[in-house]
Each structure stands twice: as C-alpha cells, then as structure tokens.
C-alpha cells in the first residue's frame, strides 16, 4: 500500500492551482476532516467525541452511504459540522471516464448540500478538476494523512503520522469507516488531546 503522509511542495505544483491543500497558516489552527461516511455506529462515535470537546469538523460523505443512513447524515448537519461531496460510489478519478465521474458527483450532490469536494484516494485528473473548479466547486485535498485505513498500522502509528506533519493550517484526514475504525478510535482522541496541550484550535473547513 503506497501513500504519502505529508504532501511535498513539488507534488502540489503538479496538480491544478485551484486545489486546496491547507488552510490559513496565520493562526495556530488545524482543520479536521473525515472521509467515507456516514456510518451509523462509527460516525456517531466521532460525533459524540467531537461534541464532548466542542469541536467542529468536515465530513466528506459518500452519496450511497447518505442514502443508506440518512439519520446519521442529518445528525452531522444538526450538530453544526460541515459536509462535503466524496462522490456517490467512491470513484477513483484516474480510473474513471470523465463524464461518468461528473455524473457520480452530481448524483451525490442530490443528497449532500455542499460545493466542497474531496476526490476519493486524492486521485483526480486535471480535466476533472478544471471542470469542477469552473462550476464553483472547492476541491479540498490535505497535507496531514493519518493513514488509519492501513491495516498494517496501529492507532499510535496513525496518531504519529498526523503529529509528525502537523503545522498551522494543516488539513487532517481520518476516516469514519469500518476499515479504519480500530485505528481511528485510538488516534483521534490522542490527536485531540495533543492539540489541546499544544494550543491548536481545531476547526471545520
């Protein structure tokens, strides 16, 4: 399994200029995000933890999961969090025909009231990105990946992945999915406690 925990500057330059890799660096602030939900058990675990600490985050949701678990999705919004589009079927843009990709995003948009978009796997063709950017979408990437989806890691390693790349303006990625839960449920509380100790403000995008 190959992925980058932090994103080097040269890789950002290879992508479209309109992609968002981080927030403002003027303040000691990070932006917390979750991909692949909603899930009725795991997302609610995250929401309970965030509520306990008065933290807001951004949830990039798969449209198919929203249709399966509408009450969980509604709770995300009612709890004051931000939502974003993660396609309807978690499509890899590099492997998907452009028209099919656009249609899948629009299918998800019927259920997800947001112009924020994160490409699954972080893989999106320049032509796909340009199409979305010209139509007012904000494409949100990241620069701090927990890799909680990787079964070869443990929760402490996922926390250390984030800790080692954390800086002002970091966009942090966790996953509220079954595949990631065993690691995320360890790493996320550790990150929250670390941010409290280091006086990082945690916000939604």
Is 157 a domain residue?
no
| Range from 13-17, 168-172, 178-182 carrying the lowest mean pLDDT | 13-17
Q: Which domain holds residue 113?
A: 19-143+167-179+196-203
Cα dihedral 73/82/14/168 (nearest 10): -130
Burial class (CB in 10 A: 0-12, 13-18, 19+), 95: exposed
| pLDDT band with cut points at 50, 70 and 90 for residue 16 | low
Distance set, CA 177 to CA 1, 29, 52, 54, 66 (Å): 18, 25, 20, 22, 13
Task: Report yes or no on 80 lying in a domain.
Answer: yes
61 in a structural domain: yes
Enter the pTM of the model. 0.94
Tens of pLDDT, residue by residue over 75-85, are 999 999 999 99
Residue 188 belongs to some domain of the structure: no
Total domain count for the chain? 1
pLDDT tens, residue by residue, 36-47 = 999 999 999 999
Asked which of 20-29, 108-117, 167-176 is least confident by mean pLDDT, the reply is 20-29
Distance, in Å, from the CA atom of 9 to the CA atom of 115, rounded to the nearest integer, reads: 25
Q: So what's the pLDDT on residue 8?
A: 53
Is 4 within a domain? no
User: What are 63-74's pLDDT values in tens digits?
Assistant: 999 999 999 999
The CATH number of residue 174's host domain is 3.20.20.370
Q: What is the pLDDT of residue 10?
A: 42
Task: Supply the residues annotated as catalytic.
Answer: 35, 175
């Amino acid at each position: 399994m190959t992925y980058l925990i932090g994103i080097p500057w040269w890789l950002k330059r290879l992508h479209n200029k309109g992609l968002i890799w981080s927030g403002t660096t003027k303040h000691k602030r990070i932006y917390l995000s979750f991909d692949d939900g909603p899930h009725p058990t795991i997302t609610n675990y995250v929401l309970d933890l965030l509520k306990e600490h008065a933290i807001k985050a951004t949830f990039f949701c798969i449209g198919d999961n929203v249709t399966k678990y509408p009450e969980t999705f509604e709770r995300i919004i009612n709890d004051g969090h931000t939502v974003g589009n993660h396609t309807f079927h978690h499509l890899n843009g590099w492997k998907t025909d452009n028209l099919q990709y656009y249609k899948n995003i629009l299918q998800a948009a019927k259920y997800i009231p947001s112009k924020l978009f994160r490409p699954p796997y972080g893989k999106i063709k320049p032509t796909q990105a340009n199409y979305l950017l010209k139509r007012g979408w904000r494409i949100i990437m990241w620069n701090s990946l927990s890799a909680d989806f990787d079964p070869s890691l443990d929760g402490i390693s996922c926390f250390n992945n984030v800790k080692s790349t954390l800086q002002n303006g970091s966009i942090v990625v966790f996953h509220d999915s079954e595949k990631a839960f065993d690691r995320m449920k360890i790493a996320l509380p550790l990150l929250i406690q670390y941010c409290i100790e280091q006086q990082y403000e945690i916000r939604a995008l």
